[in-house]
Structure 1
Amino acid sequence: MRLTVFLSLFLGVMVFGAFDQEAFLFVQHLTSENFESALNMCSNQVKAQLSVQSLSNIWNSLKAQLSDFREIAGYEKIIQAEYEIYNFTLKFDRGEISALVTMDREGKVAGLFFKQATKTEYELPDYVDPESFEEKDITVNGLPGKITIPKGSGPFPAVVLVHGSGPNDMDETIGPNKIFKDIAYSLSSKGIIVLRYHKRTFVEKVDPTTLTVEKEVIEDALEAVKILKERKDVSRVYVLGHSLGAMLTPEIAERSKADGVVMIAPPARPLEEVMEDQLKYLQSLGLASNVEETLNILEKLKRKEIPPDEFVLGAPAKYFYDLRERDPASIAKRLTIPMLLIFGGRDYQVTEKDQEIWLKELSGRENVKILVFDDLNHLMISGEGKSTPVEYMKKGHVDKRVIDEIARWMVK
């Protein structure tokens, strides 16, 4: 799997079986074309039937049909006798397939089978009332979007949703989960207008060497706030960001003169420091290997030793330098508008280090409320034990407590 799957910044309760991480790691090896490591995870019976070359042939035949591999889009688990069967949805440029991985009682891969993926439909959280609002198409700076509007005369409070890192769609789809769709539908069920839209890098092929934070995120968010401010059915406008989007919401709110800010899992440190901690965490769980080169690049970025125009880790170095200079806590301290910050206690991407910075900078301020939910991960989905990327691949919904807190805060 590509490194960006792990480094992106930015289900009900789940209990992991014994071999979730092993199955995920096997698929990670397969999709990154590390066939020798994949074969080493197989049982002796499978090794007698497969070779590194045959695994390579199988994978290349899939690519010949479906073009380049994109991501693991989700998984489900079935228990059959002494076996655990994992159904991974693999997304390619030209379609999706299911990879069925069977794990035996020793934690070895005992079977691998591919079949056509079944299209999974979005299921409404039980806290959403679909009869209480309507959804309409809208565009933001030419980007496709949706606006959900409560039924009634209004005016209503309204909020713009700002994505985390990476080319996110308007629903902020991560695996089988749709974080922003959950938030939009649930808040509109509670009398709040919500505007969400595709991120520019999801819609356009942006030259990564010219990528800037302004062009990627801020310009379109400012336009979205403007759109809501001009509506007659809107009483006030908030900006809600997740992860990297949360990190930028104080600046977006200040420049757009928004009425309030909601930050969900906001980093307070430079991106390269956050990424470094994520990598080391995943390495400690055996879910990232050969990370020394990446860690070395991150150290050089921290010291600004890489030329600004040099392309590293999916962006020019100046992109990281730009983010480093946008100190979100300092901007937030200048704001007098209401601010709500929400953290997950199981979040391995935005951790206690970030929480402590926000608490130090903003605690005691009457316009600030900070909440930590111990059982939630980076997606605001409940779980148990240590959070991993495997967890993001299981269906879930944004926790109702988060929705309730945001809605009460906005209406109040």
Structure 2
Amino acid sequence: MRLIVFFLILPGVMIFGALDQEAFLFVQKLISEDFGTALAMCTDQVRAQLNVQSLSNIWNSLKTQFGSFKEITGYEKAIHGEYEIYNFTLRFERGEISALVTMNREGKVAGLFFTQATGSKYEPPDYVDLEGFEEKDISVNGLPGKITIPKSKGPFPAVALVHGSGPNDMDETIGPNKIFKDIAYGLSSNGIIVLRYHKRTLVEKMNPASLTVEEEVIKDAVKAVNILKQRKDVSEVYVLGHSLGAMLAPEIAERSKADGVIMISPPARPLEELMEDQLKYLQSLGLAKNVGETLKILEKLKRKEIPPNKIVLGTSARYFYDLKERQPVLTAKKLTVPMLLIFGGRDYQVSEKDQKIWSRELSGKENVKILVFEDLNHLMMVGEGRSTPVEYMKKGHVDKRVIDAIIEWMVK
């Protein structure tokens, strides 16, 4: 289940806060079967109709029908008079359920109703022309993928997409959002071939004690670039990475001899520093609890005090140490191919600290362009105020300005 969407899911970290977060927290309590706490978040009228046992019976009946709970895949909000109604989509083993949570002005749960989810069909953004390209199945090192090809006359520039952290699918689905599908369809609507594929950790069970980004990301990304290079309808090949994929994009481009690099939300610092800043940010907003032990582990990782084979925070210490040694900024400085870096000003996961490092280290390089869109978050989606993890569960699309910037840069 994804709560903090970045490199790792942090065990023991609780997300909560304002009204949206209160509704989200209530659903979290149901999922974790903490029915007593969930009931305490309800109005007196709801508690008069439900008790811990009846709430437990409702949840267990859902599991009996649909199997074990898997993840929250999104939510929508509607306002009806004095109430806000949140429709959370919950994915189980054998289907999806809508949990309708009604919140009153005091932030109490005034109603709870479960119904069969209608299913969330992908709706392309306005900048996509579905008649302008075709989509075909493709395999990358045995991994299922898709290639989108413009219907106009080629050859075309081409892009290989490299995912962020976690076992991502080819669309880089985060909640109800499909980051890579938006990018692929947006670019292919404008004369660019795009290759995307499932990440290996989604398809295969891998040993966390020995896993590094070499097996998780880099080998398959290099293969994707080579597949595009061998196509007769391709004129040049770019690597486009998001988050962790952006961090590794310079190395992937160097090893595959790609013609250019596009880095969306690229971290410049070691993983443990990024995670530490994320937690402290969430704490400052009152959105995180029980982070003390995690912060201690991150400090030990900084000092390399944890044995490489030991599993911490969902992976081995080796994973952290290997990633730290790769030094993406130094690799990028050596590259002479065109590079485009795109940041969101509301991104708390790859923050202004990272922007400044990239800007300082790459300043003066004529092959580098850096763009910052102040109102975008880590997913390159528009929002207001300070970004939180809960907004990733709202349905949206990659901003058109990002798509246009990539197209314009590639054409130039």
- Please confirm whether the aligned pair reaches a TM-score higher than 0.5, indicating the same fold: yes
After superposing the two structures, state which structure 1 stretch, 277-286 or 156-165, moved more: 277-286
Corresponding residue of 1:285: 285
Contact 1:337 1:367 in 2 (8 A): yes
Return the match for 1:6 from 4, 7, 10.
Answer: 4
Contact 2:333 2:362 in 1 (8 A): yes
Q: Give the gaps of 5 or more residues in structure 1.
A: 11-17
Contact 2:5 2:389 in 1 (8 A): no
* CA 1:48–1:284: 2 relative to 1, 3 Å: farther
Which whole-Å deviations, capped at 9, do the CAs of 1:165-208 have from their partners, x for residues lacking one? 00101000111111000000110111100000011111122232
CA distance in 2, matches of 1:395, 1:220: 29
Corresponding residue of 2:131: 131
Corresponding residue of 2:159: 159
Any idea what SS the aligned residue of 1:134 has? strand
Corresponding residue of 1:353: 353
CA distance in 2, matches of 1:327, 1:380: 24
CA distance in 2, matches of 1:214, 1:316: 14
Which amino acid in the other structure matches residue 361 of structure 1? E
Corresponding residue of 2:208: 208
Q: Give the gaps of 5 or more residues in structure 2.
A: 9-17
Contact 2:210 2:318 in 1 (8 A): no
* CA 1:140–1:78: 2 relative to 1, 3 Å: same
* CA 1:32–1:145: 2 relative to 1, 3 Å: same
Contact 2:170 2:199 in 1 (8 A): yes
TM-score with structure 2 length normalisation? 0.94
Contact 1:7 1:278 in 2 (8 A): no
Contact 1:9 1:349 in 2 (8 A): no
* CA 1:68–1:307: 2 relative to 1, 3 Å: farther
Which whole-Å deviations, capped at 9, do the CAs of 1:56-113 have from their partners, x for residues lacking one? 3433332333333222110011212211110000112322111111101211111111
TM-score with structure 1 length normalisation? 0.94
* CA 1:73–1:37: 2 relative to 1, 3 Å: same
CA distance in 2, matches of 1:259, 1:34: 53
Please say if 1:236 is aligned against 2:236: yes
After superposing the two structures, state which structure 1 stretch, 202-211 or 345-354, moved more: 202-211
Any idea what SS the aligned residue of 1:5 has? coil
CA distance in 2, matches of 1:200, 1:232: 27
Structure 1 residue 306: Cα displacement: 1.1
Any idea what SS the aligned residue of 2:105 has? coil
Contact 1:70 1:91 in 2 (8 A): yes
Which amino acid in the other structure matches residue 403 of structure 2? I
* CA 1:92–1:408: 2 relative to 1, 3 Å: same
Structure 1 residue 386: Cα displacement: 1.2
* CA 1:156–1:300: 2 relative to 1, 3 Å: same
Any idea what SS the aligned residue of 1:216 has? helix
5 Å-filtered alignment, 1:244-263, equals: 244-263=244-263
Corresponding residue of 1:97: 97
Any idea what SS the aligned residue of 2:346 has? coil
Which amino acid in the other structure matches residue 60 of structure 2? N
Contact 2:164 2:243 in 1 (8 A): yes
CA distance in 2, matches of 1:29, 1:277: 26
Structure 1 residue 158: Cα displacement: 0.3
Displaced runs of 4 or more, over 4 A: none
5 Å-filtered alignment, 1:4-403, equals: 5-9=3-7, 19-403=19-403
Contact 2:209 2:318 in 1 (8 A): no
CA distance in 1, matches of 2:30, 2:333: 47
Structure 1 residue 52: Cα displacement: 3.6
Contact 1:25 1:287 in 2 (8 A): no
* CA 1:336–1:279: 2 relative to 1, 3 Å: same
CA distance in 2, matches of 1:286, 1:37: 18
* CA 1:297–1:56: 2 relative to 1, 3 Å: farther
* CA 1:275–1:55: 2 relative to 1, 3 Å: farther
Structure 1 residue 281: Cα displacement: 1.9
Structure 1 residue 7: Cα displacement: 4.5
CA distance in 1, matches of 2:218, 2:411: 26
Which amino acid in the other structure matches residue 331 of structure 1? T
Structure 1 residue 391: Cα displacement: 0.8
